[in-house]
Homo-oligomer: A and B are copies of this chain.
Amino acid sequence: MPAYKAPLREIKFVMDELLDMPAHYASIPAYADVATPDMVDAIINEGAKFCENVLSPLNRVGDIEGCTRHEDGSVTTPTGFKEAYKQFVEGGWPSLAHEVDHGGQGLPESLGIVMSEMVGSSNWSWGMYPGLSHGAMNTIELHGTDEQKHIYLSKLVSGEWTGTMCLTESHCGSDLGILKTKAEPNADGSYAITGSKIFISAGEHDMADNIVHIVLARLPGAPEGTKGISLFIVPKFLPNEDGTPGERNSLICGSIEHKMGIHGNATCVMNFDGAKGWLIGPENKGLNCMFTFMNTARIGTALQGSTAAEASYQGALAYAKDRLAMRSLTGPKAPEKAADPIIVHPDVRRMLLTQKAFAEGGRALVYLTAQQNDIVKKSEDEEARKAADEMLGFLTPIAKAFLTEVGYEATNLGVQVFGGHGFIAEWGMEQLVRDTKIACIYEGTTGIQALDLLGRKVLMTQGASLRNFTKLVHKFCQAEEANAELAHLVKPLAELNKEWGDLTMKIGMAAMKNREEVGSASVDYLMYSGYVTLAYLWAQMAKVAQEALANGTSEEDYYKAKLATAKFYFARVLPRTKAHAASMLAGADTVMDLEEAHFAF
């Protein structure tokens, strides 16, 4: 298993040099006094130690042991998981970015994302236990009554209890409109929840005293479809008056799924058999309530892509420096050894640099969205909030789908760098592949994100959200127009930025005649958007590096590496936009012509 080393220099680069988080925090009164540079540094350094020393060694344990469900429905997590969680709670990590009102530390979510990144790279499966709590906390914080907040929020914030989101049923995931779980009113104002939910991450486990399920269900006589879904709080143990967990609720983990990966996380079938629950938010508005924090949940999943790329890159890089095979085509590089380390070979370097470009570019994109989220939540400038909200909405499907797709690619390259050993479990490289595939699926598949981007975010705003983003890119390109050293980045970026608008226009026109054009083009459009967005970030990172070198620095090699990676990304990865551009314009008939009955004979 590759031992995780928190990439602190890289984190600092994006935080301080690319996004100027210190100024950002200082500009938001809610953060100015708490998220001071010293505090931020201390938290990241402490977090790094926890992830390197506690979580990383448990990653393979989780994969091997998985979770065990006992006959009574209880679930034991892998060896060490519970103890690590205890340390995590004692360290105050769950409360980092939550409201002071409920026991939180009131630090920015963007700082929480840095910790989530380190947790995710070192042990994604473990990170899902505290990670899933965020959905429950967000739901209660935004839509709960004061009483609900009082009972549940402080326990979730402290990490004493964890939470889940119970959405999916066996017959529906992407299409929640057809879910069947029922909620029938009890005399005491509560509801009796009955139904079966599947794919419930962290649905049952032995880490916390109580588990707070947020369940989507239908009230009697509710309208059909998405407009008849309500949200309920359904705790595993009904809270006593004094806040302690009381009577066991009638819900149970029916089984644990056998999955491709994330074995360390208990993915449960949760059976609710008249379980006691309380309505949260307005009747029949459950999906709307959930949309209010969809962006943050999806950014949390986007992170899985870039964290997996980072973890796989770390493993592959170490191996490529160590493993000997053949000689460089330009003559031996390690003549004293039986063969050269494989990092001398151009194709191995191509794979490593692809991983590196996705890991570092992905970090930049995730942090950028997290910065926008800070502004949405806490800025006192309404215009800024509005602009950030729009950018966040626009970037979220891109970050979620694109980063998980390329993150998955990066994990596969990691296996490939290892050759046959990559296929062997002990090395841990194949686990990263297996763990990461789900990121392209949960929280809305790549296809769903693509429809969200092209249909909802771009076309339904008549392109406004895209234009506002491309304006930023344009501004950057204009400012650097005369920068000869970066011309190999800025020029193609400006061209792609223009083409992005042109392609959107063409698809929009075609879609007016035939609605299928949207679905036909959507995934190519999303991937195209992802490559261009990452190009924008890489160009900006190159600019930062160029300035640092011009100003004189003791870290010349570091900044030169940034320039080399930017160059690689533009020359070797970005040309994929050509394929996506051609494919998205090919027309819906390319996929719709074939009749359903004629797909096979």
Contact of A329 among B313, B349, B519, B568 (CB under 8 A): B519
Contacts of A580 in B (CB 8 A): 575
Interface membership of A141, Cβ < 8 A:
no
A424 touches B259 (CB 8 A): yes
Interface membership of A71, Cβ < 8 A:
no
Taken together as a complex, chains A and B put the C-alpha atoms of A601 and B10 apart, in Å, by 8
Contacts of A595 in B (CB 8 A): 557
A582 touches B575 (CB 8 A): yes
B347 touches A523 (CB 8 A): yes
Interface membership of A403, Cβ < 8 A:
no
CB nearest to A442 among chain B residues: B420
B561 touches A599 (CB 8 A): yes
Interface membership of A588, Cβ < 8 A:
yes
Interface membership of A338, Cβ < 8 A:
yes
Taken together as a complex, chains A and B put the C-alpha atoms of A339 and B582 apart, in Å, by 32
Q: Main secondary structure on chain A at its contact with chain B?
A: helix
Most buried by B among A338, A426, A446, A599: A599
A419 touches B174 (CB 8 A): yes
Give the number of chain A interface residues (Cβ < 8 Å). Answer: 110
In the complex with contacts A347-B522, A515-B329, A572-B591, A601-B561 CB distance below 8 A? yes
Contact with B along A308-333 (1 / 0, CB 8 A): 00000110010001001110111000
Contacts of A425 in B (CB 8 A): 257-260
Give the shortest distance, in Å, between A228 (CB) and chain B (any CB).
Answer: 13
Contact with B along A568-601 (1 / 0, CB 8 A): 1001110111111111001110111111111111
CB nearest to A556 among chain B residues: B598
In the complex with contacts A173-B419, A347-B450, A594-B561 CB distance below 8 A? yes
Taken together as a complex, chains A and B put the C-alpha atoms of A325 and B174 apart, in Å, by 7
In the complex with contacts A424-B259, A430-B437, A599-B352, A590-B561 CB distance below 8 A? no
Contact with B along A486-524 (1 / 0, CB 8 A): 000000000000000000000000000011101110110
Taken together as a complex, chains A and B put the C-alpha atoms of A598 and B561 apart, in Å, by 6
Give the shortest distance, in Å, between A125 (CB) and chain B (any CB).
Answer: 13
Contacts of A314 in B (CB 8 A): 600
In the complex with contacts A568-B590, A599-B352, A424-B578 CB distance below 8 A? no
B317 touches A600 (CB 8 A): yes
Give the shortest distance, in Å, between A263 (CB) and chain B (any CB).
Answer: 11
Contacts of A175 in B (CB 8 A): 324-326, 339
Contacts of A577 in B (CB 8 A): 579
Contacts of A178 in B (CB 8 A): 324-325, 338-339
Give the shortest distance, in Å, between A102 (CB) and chain B (any CB).
Answer: 32
A520 touches B416 (CB 8 A): no
Contacts of A343 in B (CB 8 A): 596, 599
Contacts of A561 in B (CB 8 A): 594, 598-599, 601
- A-B contacts, 15 of them at CB < 8 A, read A168-B420, A172-B339, A258-B424, A317-B600, A329-B518, A329-B519, A330-B515, A330-B516, A346-B591, A348-B447, A353-B594, A408-B412, A433-B437, A575-B580, A575-B582
Q: Nearest 7 pairs between A and B by C-beta? A: A346-B519, A575-B582, A571-B586, A260-B430, A578-B578, A175-B325, A258-B425
Q: 7 new A-B pairs (CB below 8 Å) besides A313-B600, A577-B579?
A: A7-B600, A9-B601, A175-B324, A329-B518, A419-B445, A567-B590, A572-B586
